[in-house]
């Protein structure tokens, strides 16, 4: 039996390893969808390959523990985990600048059906990130299983700074699922990169031209409605199924096809959206502001006493989401704020030590001299001031 303190020590160590790995990865993108079969893995694989063809260093992590199909789509069934000089295991090398990992190579046989209990799933996903060396990456693409269950939740908690890429199809039901995914992201505070409409229009297998078989464009309308970016549409193309089966993603197998071009445009849009979101933080168009509170409606000026925080997502000077979060007892303040991906903290008369520590951790400090008690008022006051300048 592992004693409780030892277990929490092990967990702390793993947290640290996970953090360390993630700090070497510039952008993390979780590909998600409300339901299965909409082409999430297809999009994840083609986007990862597309990014790697643009000379980015890319990792592709398949966290679908029940139906891992990334290795098959990459045609990479027999590959083994690489071993680093320091003895650690590394992700599987697919090409000089693309590596991937999935549960499949770790299973005794490809057909073994596995039943995972919640906690095992969570630790497996954390190990994929903490125990496996990914090295320095520009992008980590995560193929999450469908829905809003354990796995996407674990990814959101483990990689809170990940952006969500939501995949949908033009059908009505799927669009309802998108709303669910968007709500999930808002609840766990994942920032949304944008929406992709897959199986939008049809590419004729005989002439290779596009035909509008089903109505398309619902994704774009919905994206506008929900205020998220529309990143592109991918047509129905029978070659996607074939290339998925032979293990050569269409973007690489038929680079001249309309479908490959559509994926290339998607990749370009993903790159520019990612950079835009990054700049939004630097230039304060997006802010996640934490305010220490003693209750949801009362500002607390003594940082050492506080365990409750009101957290606001601000976009273009408007409050998008407000949440009140309790800092876990055994988590220090900085770790907590980093886990929440907080960009700013509002403080009253902070000690120099606190202010310095926060700034060293890339968290900006906003000092208030207001006696306003309600955190909402403090935010409004701050936004008013900011707009004046």
Ligand X SMILES: Nc1ncnc2c1ncn2[C@@H]1O[C@H](COP(=O)(O)OP(=O)(O)O)[C@@H](O)[C@H]1O
- Beta carbon nearer to ligand X, 18 or 203: 203
The interface partner of residue 243, options being ligand X, Mg ion, none and the CB cut-off 5 to 8 Å by kind, is none
Q: How far is the CB of 17 from ligand X (least distance, A)?
A: 28
198 belongs to the binding site for Mg ion (CB under 5 A): no
- The residues near 191 (Cβ < 8 Å, ≥ 6 apart) are 163, 164, 185, 277, 286
Residues 76, 169: contact at Cβ < 8 Å? no
- Beta carbon nearer to ligand X, 252 or 311: 252
Per-residue x/- track, 13-42, ligand X (CB under 6 A): --------------------x--xxxxxxx
Q: Considering only 157-165, 212-220, 230-238, 271-279, which stretch makes contact with ligand X by CB under 6 A?
A: 230-238
The interface partner of residue 52, options being Mg ion, ligand X, none and the CB cut-off 5 to 8 Å by kind, is none
Q: How far is the CB of 57 from Mg ion (least distance, A)?
A: 23
Q: How far is the CB of 301 from ligand X (least distance, A)?
A: 49
Q: How far is the CB of 139 from ligand X (least distance, A)?
A: 19
- The residues near 313 (Cβ < 8 Å, ≥ 6 apart) are 189, 286, 287, 288, 319, 320, 321, 322
- Beta carbon nearer to ligand X, 18 or 262: 262
Alpha helices in the chain (DSSP H): 4-23, 40-53, 70-74, 118-130, 150-158, 172-188, 218-226, 238-246, 250-253, 258-282, 333-339, 352-360, 375-388
Residue 251 corresponds to which tokens in the numbers above? 């973007």
Q: Considering only 21-29, 52-60, 101-109, 234-242, which stretch makes contact with ligand X by CB under 6 A?
A: 234-242
By C-alpha distance, which of 270, 237, 233, 267 is closest to 253? 237
Q: How far is the CB of 172 from Mg ion (least distance, A)?
A: 22
* Angstrom distance (rounded) from CA 189 to CA 162: 10
* Angstrom distance (rounded) from CA 289 to CA 388: 19
The interface partner of residue 234, options being Mg ion, ligand X, none and the CB cut-off 5 to 8 Å by kind, is ligand X
Residues within window 45-64 making contact with ligand X, judged by CB under 6 A = none
Residues within window 37-66 making contact with Mg ion, judged by CB under 5 A = 40-41
* Angstrom distance (rounded) from CA 202 to CA 83: 43
Residues near Mg ion (CB under 5 A) are: 40-41
């Amino acid at each position: 039996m592992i004693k409780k303190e030892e277990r929490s020590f092990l967990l702390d160590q793993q947290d640290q390893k996970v953090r360390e790995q993630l700090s070497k990865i510039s952008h993390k993108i979780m590909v998600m969808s409300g339901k299965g079969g909409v082409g999430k893995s297809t999009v994840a694989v083609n986007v990862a390959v597309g990014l790697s063809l643009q000379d980015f260093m890319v990792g592709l992590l398949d966290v679908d523990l029940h139906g891992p199909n990334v290795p098959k789509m990459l045609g990479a069934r027999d590959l083994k985990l690489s071993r680093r000089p320091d003895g650690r295991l590394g992700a599987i090398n697919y090409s000089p600048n693309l590596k991937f990992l999935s549960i499949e190579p770790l299973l005794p046989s490809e057909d073994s059906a596995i039943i995972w209990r919640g906690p095992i799933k969570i630790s497996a996903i954390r190990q994929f990130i903490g125990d496996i060396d990914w090295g320095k990456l520009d992008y980590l693409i995560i193929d999450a299983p469908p829905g809003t269950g354990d796995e996407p939740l674990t990814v959101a908690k483990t990689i809170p700074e990940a952006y969500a890429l939501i995949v949908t199809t033009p059908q009505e039901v799927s669009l309802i699922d998108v709303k669910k995914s968007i709500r999930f992201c808002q609840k766990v505070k994942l920032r949304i990169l944008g929406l992709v409409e897959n199986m939008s229009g049809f590419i004729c297998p005989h002439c290779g031209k596009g035909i509008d078989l089903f109505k398309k464009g619902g994704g774009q309308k919905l994206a506008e409605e929900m205020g998220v970016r529309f990143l592109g549409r991918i047509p129905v193309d029978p070659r996607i199924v074939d290339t998925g089966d032979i293990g050569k993603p269409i973007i690489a197998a038929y680079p001249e096809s309309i479908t490959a071009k559509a994926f290339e445009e998607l990749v370009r849009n993903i790159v520019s959206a990612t950079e835009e979101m990054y700049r939004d933080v630097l230039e304060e168009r997006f802010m996640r502001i934490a305010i220490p509170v003693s209750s949801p409606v009362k500002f607390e000026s003594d940082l050492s006493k506080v365990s409750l925080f009101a957290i606001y997502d601000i976009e273009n000077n408007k409050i998008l989401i407000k949440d009140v979060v309790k800092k876990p007892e055994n988590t220090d303040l900085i770790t907590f704020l980093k886990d929440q991906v907080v960009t700013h903290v509002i403080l009253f008369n902070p000690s120099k030590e606190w202010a310095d520590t926060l700034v060293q951790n890339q968290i900006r400090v906003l000092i208030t001299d207001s006696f306003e008690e309600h955190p909402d008022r403090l935010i409004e006051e701050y936004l008013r001031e900011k707009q004046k300048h």
